[in-house]
């Protein structure tokens, strides 16, 4: 067999095992009995051992040297495999396994330290994670012109770099601050009230997920502590969570995860279990979840429909008009928690994390200085003093599991979503009429046709530019936010 075919046959098994590992993670978060945890840790380690051995198998190097791709999809498969193979070769095996061991333990330490507001218990653990990730970043940077932070970022956003991020953030910051200033000076938005039974929230979330194009014959919706989407191809599962006093938590988490999941479900079937048979980057993934959740789900047109539907399901919900419901959905506040932030504040949270984690990885700051740096920056950016670490630097799991370089992809996703939805609205003039009927299918169909079906065929930025036919720019996102929140907070 030609080297390319041997390579792809070998890789298909690896991809299938990767899907099993992902689903084992899904099981752990949704249905696993609590007493199974110690055995599950050994099962996950066993799967990781097998996957690591396959991803660094010396035959991959030979095949990659000799392989000739039969077509453009083949070129893209080789591009993805080369990047992953050379990446994994650069990280010494003992560093990789030390990272796996330390980060898996650190997550538990983070959870209990956060619950106890115990900074002192968390810092030594975080210092160890930072030390190992600095080392990994340095190893990955060898032979490139990247610094350690940019090298780490490649795992989440191939082609991304901190300089571009900083330029993007510099362009966004003053305009976001101007919107926020006006919003915080204005009358407070209305809030929902009432009781929202779990069964009704889940039934409504299923109805909405289906309308947004989620295919339940190849997926399922369950409850988990933290909402997530898991899997590629023919088995892509999502979770949400329920607060019986706040239905938005469940519904908007579901729409968000449907954005991720339909990206995976939308990839052309010919790419199943190949390296390009999945979303191309975290940023492009987030462009889908943000387009679905925010640009469509929180639009005035869709909120008009959702208001009526929620009154059908829940009765009186404490707000008296479509407009007030729309204002409630898009209330701009000044909370501590990133995951609860509105569209305006969200990117300001990310800028804070981006600057701090980059300083940590580049050795410009030590872990011991992190809490003070966070609190100073939060006061200066948000005008509020952090009260407890769980509202401050200990709020996210990300750093404890070593995900430095990941945060900026959330803002990149918002930026991509701005470009994509501007193009979708250009091509679908009646989109708001559809959304006002609760029907996002024209836009989700547009996403599938112009972006989702290609999986990782094109690198992230190219994928967005191919879909929109325009050069990448922060302008569509900012124009959208200024128009939307200028109307909401005139």
Q: How far is the CB of 47 from a copy of itself (least distance, A)?
A: 6
Q: Which range of residues in 32-40, 114-122, 204-212, 280-288 is near a copy of itself by CB under 8 A?
A: 32-40
Residue 12 binds a copy of itself (CB under 8 A): yes
Taking the C-alpha atoms of residue 169 and residue 178, their distance in angstroms, rounded to an integer, is 14
- 71 lies in the binding site for a copy of itself (CB under 8 A): no
Nearest approach in angstroms of CB 30 to a copy of itself is 9
- The residue range among 46-54, 70-78, 322-330, 464-472 that interacts with a copy of itself, by the rule CB under 8 A, is 46-54
Say if residue 398 carries a ligand binding annotation.
no
Is residue 98 near a copy of itself by the rule CB under 8 A?
Answer: no
Residues from 228 through 247 that contact a copy of itself (CB under 8 A): 233-235, 237
Residue 86 assigned as binding residue = no
- Residue 223 found at the interface with a copy of itself (CB under 8 A): no
Closest separation in Å from C-beta 481 to a copy of itself: 37
> Counting contacts by CB under 8 A, is residue 1 touching a copy of itself?
no
Nearer of residues 215 and 340 to a copy of itself, judged by Cβ: 215
Scanning the structure block, which residue is given the tokens 């991959």?
60
Residue 260 counted as an annotated binding residue = yes
Nearer to a copy of itself, 56 or 359 (CB): 56
Catalytic residue among 80, 128, 136, 257: 257
CB of 12 vs a copy of itself, minimal distance in Å: 7
CB atoms < 10 A from the CB of 281, how many?
Answer: 25
CB of 44 to a copy of itself, least distance (A): 9
Look up 98 and say whether it is catalytic. no
Does the footprint of a copy of itself cover residue 24 (CB under 8 A)? yes
Q: Does 20 bind a copy of itself (CB under 8 A)?
A: yes
**44 or 171: whose CB is closer to a copy of itself?**
44
34 binds a copy of itself (CB under 8 A): yes
Cβ-based nearer residue to a copy of itself, 266 or 297: 266
Shortest Å, Cβ 126 to a copy of itself: 25
If binding is defined by CB under 8 A, does position 95 make contact with a copy of itself? no
- Contacts with a copy of itself by CB under 8 A: the residue count is 39
Nearer to a copy of itself, 232 or 414 (CB): 232
Q: How far is the CB of 201 from a copy of itself (least distance, A)?
A: 20
Query: What values do phi and psi take at 437, rounded to 5?
Result: -100, 5
Tokens of 181: 């200033």
Q: Is 45 in the site for a copy of itself (CB under 8 A)?
A: yes
Nearer to a copy of itself, 21 or 313 (CB): 21
Closest by CA position to 242, among listed 259, 225, 256: 225
Smaller CB distance to a copy of itself: residue 277 or 392? 277
Considering only 174, 217, 312, 380, the residue that binds a copy of itself (CB under 8 A) is: 217
The verdict on 40 binding a copy of itself (CB under 8 A) reads yes
Token readout for 201 is 């929230």
- Burial category of 483 from C-beta neighbours within 10 Å (exposed 0-12, middle 13-18, buried 19 and up): exposed
Q: Which stretch binds a copy of itself (CB under 8 A): 30-38, 79-87, 352-360, 411-419?
A: 30-38
Q: Does residue 17 interact with a copy of itself by CB under 8 A?
A: yes
Q: Is 38 in the site for a copy of itself (CB under 8 A)?
A: yes
Of 416, 400, 304, 306, which is closest to residue 357 (Cα–Cα)? Answer: 400
Measure the CA angle with vertex 33, ends 397 and 233; round to 5°: 65
Residue 490 makes contact with a copy of itself by CB under 8 A: no
Residues in 117-176 at the binding interface with a copy of itself, rule: CB under 8 A: none
Phi first, then psi, for residue 244 (nearest 5°) are -70, -5
What CA–CA distance (Å, rounded) separates 473 from 482?
15
- Indicate which single residue of 152, 273, 276, 412 sits in contact with a copy of itself (rule: CB under 8 A): 273
| Alpha-carbon span 309 to 149, nearest angstrom | 46
Shortest Å, Cβ 50 to a copy of itself: 6
Binding residues for a copy of itself, rule: CB under 8 A, are 12-14, 16-17, 19-20, 23-24, 27, 31-40, 42-43, 45-47, 49-50, 215-220, 233-235, 237, 272-273
* Catalytic residue ranges: 257
> Which residues are annotated as part of the binding site for Zn(2+)?
256, 260, 286
């Amino acid at each position: 067999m030609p080297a390319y075919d041997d390579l792809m046959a070998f890789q298909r098994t690896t991809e299938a095992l990767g899907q099993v590992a992902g689903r084992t993670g899904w099981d752990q978060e949704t249905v696993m009995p609590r007493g199974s945890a110690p055995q599950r840790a050994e099962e996950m380690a066993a799967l990781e051992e097998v996957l690591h051995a396959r991803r660094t198998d010396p035959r991959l190097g030979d095949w990659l040297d000799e392989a000739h791709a039969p077509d453009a999809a083949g070129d893209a498969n080789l591009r993805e495999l080369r990047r992953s193979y050379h990446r994994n070769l650069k990280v010494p095996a003992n560093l990789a396994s030390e990272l796996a061991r330390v980060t898996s333990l650190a997550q538990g330490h983070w959870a209990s330290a956060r619950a106890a507001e115990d900074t002192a218990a968390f810092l030594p653990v975080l210092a160890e994670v930072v030390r190992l990730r600095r080392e990994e970043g340095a190893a990955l940077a060898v032979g490139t012109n990247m610094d350690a932070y940019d090298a780490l970022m490649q795992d989440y956003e191939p082609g991304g770099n901190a300089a571009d991020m900083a330029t993007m953030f510099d362009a966004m910051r003053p305009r976001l601050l101007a919107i926020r200033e006006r919003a915080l000076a204005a009358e407070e938005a209305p809030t929902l009230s009432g009781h929202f039974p779990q069964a009704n929230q889940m039934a409504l979330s299923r109805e909405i997920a289906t309308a947004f194009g989620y295919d339940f014959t190849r997926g399922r919706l369950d409850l988990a502590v933290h909402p997530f989407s898991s899997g590629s191809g023919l088995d892509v599962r999502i979770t949400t969570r329920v607060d019986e006093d706040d239905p938005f938590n469940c519904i908007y988490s579901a729409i968000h995860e449907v954005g991720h999941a339909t990206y995976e479900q939308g990839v052309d079937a010919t790419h199943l279990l190949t390296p390009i048979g999945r979303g191309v980057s975290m940023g492009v993934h987030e462009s889908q979840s943000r387009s679905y959740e925010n640009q469509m789900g929180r639009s005035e047109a869709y909120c008009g429909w959702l208001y009526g539907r929620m009154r059908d399901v829940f009765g009186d919900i404490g707000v008296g008009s479509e407009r007030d419901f729309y204002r409630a959905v898009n209330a701009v506040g000044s909370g501590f928690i990133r995951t609860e932030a509105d569209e305006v504040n969200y990117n300001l949270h990310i800028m804070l994390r981006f600057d701090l984690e980059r300083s940590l990885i580049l050795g410009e700051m030590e872990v011991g200085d992190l809490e003070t740096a966070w609190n100073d920056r939060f006061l200066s950016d948000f005008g509020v003093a952090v009260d407890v670490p769980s509202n401050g630097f200990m709020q996210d799991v990300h750093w404890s599991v070593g995900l430095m370089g990941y945060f900026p992809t959330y803002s990149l996703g918002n930026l991509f979503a701005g470009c994509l939805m501007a193009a979708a609205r250009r091509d679908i003039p009646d989109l708001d009429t559809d959304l006002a009927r609760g029907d996002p299918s024209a836009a989700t169909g547009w996403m599938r046709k112009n972006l989702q079906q290609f999986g990782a065929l094109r690198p992230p930025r190219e994928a967005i530019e191919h879909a929109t036919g325009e050069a990448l720019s922060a302008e569509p996102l900012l124009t959208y936010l200024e128009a939307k929140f200028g109307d909401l907070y005139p």
